Amino acid sequence: MFWNDIQVHLNYTHIFFILYLVGTAVDFGVNQWLEYIDYRHRQKHGREIPTEFAEYIDAATVEKTCQYEDAQYKYWVPKNILSLIIALALIFSGFYPRIFYFIRSFTQNSFLTALCFIVLASIPEAVIFLPFRLYREFSIEKRFGFSTMTLKLWILDGLKGLLVNAVLMVPLLFAMTFVLEHANGWWWLLLGGIYVAFSLLISLIYPTFIAPLFNKFTPLEEGELKDTLIQELAETGFKASGLFVMDASKRSKHSNAYFTGFGKTKRVVLYDTLIAQLSNEEIKAVLGHELGHYKHHHIIKKMCVMIPLIFVALFAISLFISNPSLYTTFGFALAPEDLTATAPTSVLPHLQFLGVFLISVVFGGFSTLLSPITNHFSRKDEFQADAFAKKLCGTGKPLTTSLITLNKENLSELTEPKIYSIFNYSHPPLIERIRAIAD
């Protein structure tokens, strides 16, 4: 079957297509507006230094920060516009039904069809945005002194990422196609359970099997810092399999610290760049913040919210994916053998993986409108974690200086428009965090 032999007819007036256009416009328009507001704010106020930072940050650093943020903005705008053009082009050209029927001319196996479809559907954006990824890494990040990446390492990371994604996602895709075909109307319940179990499994194996593929993790060397952090962990009752240093400087000078793993595989990871940038007392405060999340059970609470939402989302999807209009609207011409004999208004399970994909296309753009809600609760947790770190250290000073130092080293903005942070920040703006933990 040749590409041009496949006839595709879109239904531009159907509610699914209208929702897709509205969601796409909302996502593009809101994000363009937010980034422009932030850019304009930076032009007017970005070089002002609030009183709270005057002792730590000079005019040269602020100027460099503005230049870095401007460079990212000028990179992001054409990338976002091109993303919109590509998304619309793929839909209006009938790219997705064309590759689907091309694949079906070679195989009728549902799993192989789904696998090939996902791979081929991802190729256009992956290829077109490759120059953008290279430019950001080897131009912007190099120019401002962050990237230490070599082209060889960048390519190896990409190949490893593809391999890891294949190993992890192929079984999950197989599970989805299997339950769609054999679980009838209960597929969403089974798939939700499989997805939750799969996510927990990834949490278990990530620290010891996946992360070491990309970075080297060495035990924190003996000394004052290790003794301080071990005592801090003991005081809070956090049991970890070890304290590790990650060779983040191999790729970038950006810094961070995090907990990873689940159960007995939990470990504390410090970037080597973090250790180089902060004092022992400041690192203790940063770890105290992470321990605050543990003591307030933030991860468990998020899981208690997210797991039911996964099942609700899958159930909602199950209400749509048997509807033939979902497919025909986007150019998938359904044959009689694609519909159930007893209910010709219902699409057979062997096609319904396409329905899951199309639902993500139709409603994906509206996710931007949900970000203020998720960010609100995330910022609330961050304030709690900051307060815990202050209490643990007996003062907010070490956390204050560590946050300012990390902000300075990462060339992050000192202030930003309120509306921008509401939509884009899962953490509170720096100045709000500093004021909240002030002694």
Nearest partner of 10 among 87, 121, 95, judged by Cα: 95
Tokens for 325, please give them.
């209009």
CA–CA gap between residue 219 and residue 221 (Å, rounded):
6
What backbone torsions phi and psi does residue 41 show, to the nearest 5 degrees? Answer: -60, -40
Q: Please identify which of the residues 137, 290, 338, 432 carries the catalytic annotation.
A: 290
221 flagged as catalytic:
no
55 flagged as catalytic:
no
- The residues, ordered by sequence, that sit 6+ positions from 308 with a Cβ below 8 Å of its Cβ are none
- The residue type of 225 is L
Cβ-based neighbour number of residue 161 at 10 Å: 12
- The residues, ordered by sequence, that sit 6+ positions from 20 with a Cβ below 8 Å of its Cβ are 91, 361, 362, 365
Q: Is residue 175 within 8 Å of 111, Cβ to Cβ?
A: no
Q: Please identify which of the residues 386, 409, 413, 416 carries the catalytic annotation.
A: 386
Residues designated catalytic: 290, 386
